[in-house]
Amino acid sequence: MHHNKTNRVNLMTEFSAQEIGALRRQGIYRQRQKDEFFLRIRLPLGRLTSSQLDTVASVVDETERGRLELTTRQSIQIHGLAFDTIPRIRQTLEEVGLFSLGSGGKAVRNIVTFYEGGPFAGEAESLTRHLNETFVAKSLELTLPHKFKVAVGESHRAGLLFNDVGLLPVQREGGLRWQVFVGGGLGSKPHVAQLLPVEVRGSDVSSLLVAILHVFIMKGTLNQRLKFLVQSLGLEHFWELVREEWTVPVEDPVTSPSSLETMGSSETVIVDVPDSSLTTVQLYKLASVARRFTQGNIYLTSNRQILLRDVLPEEKEALLAELSTVDLATPEPIHWIACPGRTLCARGLIDTQLRQSILNTLREHRLVWEKIEGMSIHLSGCASSCARPQVADIGITGIIDKQNPGIPSVTVTVGGGLDGEWPVLGETWRSPIKVEDLPTALLIILENWLEKREGQETFRQTYLRRHREKGSHRIQEGRTVSE
């Protein structure tokens, strides 16, 4: 690795708000370290080819940190960049088809699609590809009040209810249609998306999204997400405005092919990335593995995992053995998602690299350790919710304790999740909690769960049962899932 700081320019001076906005639309953000920046790259479908992985690895190898961050929008971030090196890095990445424009700031962000392999998997991927080629391309010319996020998925596991727009396929007599949810979002003030009174053909989705975006531009408030506009107007009035703007195309077929055509009895291998980041060595290994065992691609998921598709069953063991040489195939009892946190992010309030201290505490309590298989814990350094803590079994969010502002503290939520027929936001367990007390707090939560657990219930199942017993309303009011 080349840890060379000699060519860094001194950029301690502040940018204007206009300059910051322009940089962020290009995917360029200043880190907590004032003379360092990170570059975000949008990945349509979360896809990286083996040659792209090689190029990314070579770029990451030139950074001080030597790690690539994965995001929950199936994008990647390269940290620790000197400002004057970014144009060259962008050019290098663009030469292999990797672009940063629109990955940050007030723009339509990378469209998320969730890979489940169900009956509509091909349609979901084809629509996502089509929207990237049509809707996203058109949106880059527009000035928005705030960022705009879209998710496509076969079920609510794709987080459809917590995006500005969520798209869910349903089978009808006339063919496949898409339900459209609007006004969702997480952050410090989570909103659950509402279902528009329309079901549209895949060929009409792009034009509908353009209409929604136009209403957002005309009626939205600067620096406020779409969720606040939908809330203030009411769904009915919002829909009226969208219909006035919506011009349904005569012909705009979804022709983008799906890449889900698998080879015979091939399998998909899911690889967890516990620290939500990859080293240069791991990136080169993934490129090698993709060439040898797949059709040359890897796919990042919104859960910050890696999918390796089209793996022949007889080669799976060899693939896992290859990944194990770079610590990528080690089974983890807990699924972790963590943002970069205070170490790198200017907004971060806490250090999010807490996984090992938490694991060490839990390992000391065998009865708990043996029962936590498959749990999810998400750590977010601030209320921006980049790690989506509200939809994890246990969510941890960095906060400022007003009584003790100098002590790193968190809010802990429990019982959130997107899986199954009942997505829910986690409920606050306790706030504030000192970061130093966090491992003990999680141990108490898990011990309380084991006391309330029935049979072989998972943590999630126990909390869903408790919601039902308390008569809590499902967060999807009305008819929001296909029947």
For the segment 185-224, what is each residue's pLDDT rounded down to a tens digit?
A: 998 899 999 999 999 999 999 999 999 999 999 999 999 9
pLDDT (0 to 100) of residue 33:
84
420 contacts 463 by C-beta, under 8 angstroms: no
Q: Is residue 479 part of a domain?
A: no
Q: Which domain holds residue 378?
A: 334-469
Tokens of 82: 């000197």
Q: Same domain, yes or no, for 441 and 365?
A: yes
Q: Same domain, yes or no, for 98 and 170?
A: no
Q: Is residue 193 part of a domain?
A: yes
Q: Same domain, yes or no, for 302 and 352?
A: no
Q: Is residue 481 part of a domain?
A: no
Q: Same domain, yes or no, for 385 and 301?
A: no
Residue 48 has, within 13 A of its CA and on its CB side, a CA count of: 30
Tell me phi and psi for residue 194, to 5 degrees.
Answer: -110, 150
- Residue range 422-429: average pLDDT? 86
Picking from 245, 275, 299, the residue at the C-terminal end of a domain is 245
Strands 67-70, 112-113: pairing is unpaired
Q: Same domain, yes or no, for 190 and 282?
A: no
440 contacts 412 by C-beta, under 8 angstroms: no
Q: What is the distance, to the nearest Å, from the Cα of residue 119 to the centroid of all Cα atoms in its chain? A: 23
For the segment 300-326, what is each residue's pLDDT rounded down to a tens digit?
A: 999 899 999 999 999 999 999 999 999
pLDDT (0 to 100) of residue 3:
47
For residue 339, what is the domain's CATH number? Answer: 3.30.413.10
Q: Same domain, yes or no, for 338 and 464?
A: yes
Q: Is residue 255 part of a domain?
A: no
Q: Is residue 60 part of a domain?
A: yes
Picking from 217, 245, 273, the residue at the C-terminal end of a domain is 245
For the segment 2-28, what is each residue's pLDDT rounded down to a tens digit?
A: 544 434 444 445 788 889 999 999 999
Q: Same domain, yes or no, for 240 and 288?
A: no
Q: Same domain, yes or no, for 464 and 367?
A: yes
User: From CA 335, how far away is CA 35, in angstroms rounded?
Assistant: 33
Q: Same domain, yes or no, for 313 and 407?
A: no
User: Helix (H) and strand (E) counts for the chain?
Assistant: 14, 19
Q: Is residue 111 part of a domain?
A: no
192 contacts 476 by C-beta, under 8 angstroms: yes
Q: Is residue 144 part of a domain?
A: yes
Tokens of 72: 């929950």
pLDDT (0 to 100) of residue 471:
63
- Residue range 160-183: average pLDDT? 96
Q: Same domain, yes or no, for 412 and 286?
A: no
User: From CA 433, how far away is CA 107, in angstroms rounded?
Assistant: 35
Tell me phi and psi for residue 38, to 5 degrees.
Answer: -125, 155
pLDDT (0 to 100) of residue 368:
92
Q: Same domain, yes or no, for 310 and 401?
A: no
Q: Is residue 306 part of a domain?
A: yes
pLDDT (0 to 100) of residue 8:
47
For the segment 383-422, what is each residue's pLDDT rounded down to a tens digit?
A: 998 999 999 999 999 999 999 999 999 999 999 998 766 6
Domain tally for the chain?
3
For the segment 213-253, what is each residue's pLDDT rounded down to a tens digit?
A: 999 999 999 999 999 999 999 999 999 999 999 998 765 55
For residue 302, what is the domain's CATH number? Answer: 3.90.480.20
Q: Same domain, yes or no, for 173 and 123?
A: yes
Model confidence pTM above 0.75 = yes
Picking from 273, 301, 324, the residue at the C-terminal end of a domain is 324
Tokens of 430: 């306790």
